[in-house]
Amino acid sequence: MPELPEVATVRRGLEPWVGGAKIEKVTLNRPDLRFPFPPDFAPVLEGATIETVGRRAKYLLFRLDNGWTWLSHLGMTGSYRFAGRRFKEPSRYYEPGVDEKHDHVVLDLAHPSEGRLTLIYADPRRFGFMDLFQDEADSPYLAGLGPEPLSNAFNADEMAARFRGKQAPMKAALLDQRVVAGLGNIYVSEALHRAHILPTRAAGTLVLKSGAPSKRLDLLADGVRAVLNEAIEAGGSTLRDFRDAEGGAGYFQHHFAVYDREGEACPTPGCRGTIKRIVQSGRATYYCPVCQH
Ligand SMILES: [Zn+2]
């Protein structure tokens, strides 16, 4: 499952190629992905110009000049590529190989400097989906989402207000999309290790009696930002299928401190702990029982 840094990487890779491009034709090779396409999907897109590509949580948001936004979620295996074209360095994007039977959406674009481009969305497992909205408040996917972890709206005060009195373990509290949008399983483990917080600790125990955040919640807010920024710098990380623009494998190697490192030495300086793996709410959690408490 692509996490926020991977979606940010896809966004960054697409932006120079689709920003300013006019959508001339949309071909849907099936009526649905995880959900049906909106009935007016192709007519709304055709003739519109993509002004920018944004991101909210794990959603790509193509802002159109006709007032609509085209929302795209990559699910587990969704990817974008351009037919018959290689990217110029250093553009990167998500491309798990080419198998045309999974090319579900094909867009003919006219870009002001790149000329004609064919943008293809493929999604072998079809857990991705697309939608349209004019006002973010009307999107069932975006309404109710918590602050973006890389924005100033995400901070220790905000977390303290949400966590006060909560018995839920920290892991579950951080995966709650109303607390922070788009933070997935891998980066929760990484951020909690960075802040030396045990994933099983009750969230409310990190809030002071006054309702103010403890120092450790401050550290956690910084930890969340740091692990995401490092992963975005590394170009996304979690999918074996990630390819660079030229199709080279292994471009997105990113070093995790604890994730998938059961039995290895804890990388915290001076710590002699060994990384443990437990399962919380059906998902693997990795942590150090010595320096996380
Ligand atoms: Zn440790």
Ligand 1 centre from 202 Cα, in Å? 20
Measured CA distances, 203 to 26, 31, 40, 166, 247 (Å):
47, 43, 44, 6, 43
- pLDDT, position 251: 33
Protein residues placing their CB within 5 Å of the ion ligand 1: 266, 268, 271, 273, 288, 290-291
What is the pLDDT at residue 92? Answer: 44
232 confidence band (pLDDT: 50, 70, 90): confident
Task: Please state whether the predicted TM-score (pTM) of the whole model is above 0.75.
Answer: yes
Percent of the chain with pLDDT over 70: 88
Determine the distance separating the centroid of ligand 1 and the alpha carbon of 194, expressed in angstroms. 10
**pLDDT tens digits along 94-136:** 455 567 888 999 999 999 998 999 999 988 889 999 999 999 9
What spacing in Å lies between the alpha carbon of 189 and ligand 1's midpoint? 13
CA of 196 from ligand 1 middle (Å) equals 8
The answer, yes or no, to whether residue 243 has pLDDT greater than 60, is no
- Distance from C-alpha of 109 to C-alpha of 24, rounded to nearest angstrom: 6
Separation of 157 CA from ligand 1 center, angstroms?
Answer: 27
The 10s digit of each residue's pLDDT in 49-67 is: 999 999 999 999 999 999 9
Which residues are annotated as catalytic?
Answer: 2-3, 58, 283
Contact 92, 251 (CB under 8 A): yes
Does residue 253 surpass a pLDDT of 80? no
Has residue 248 got a pLDDT over 50? no
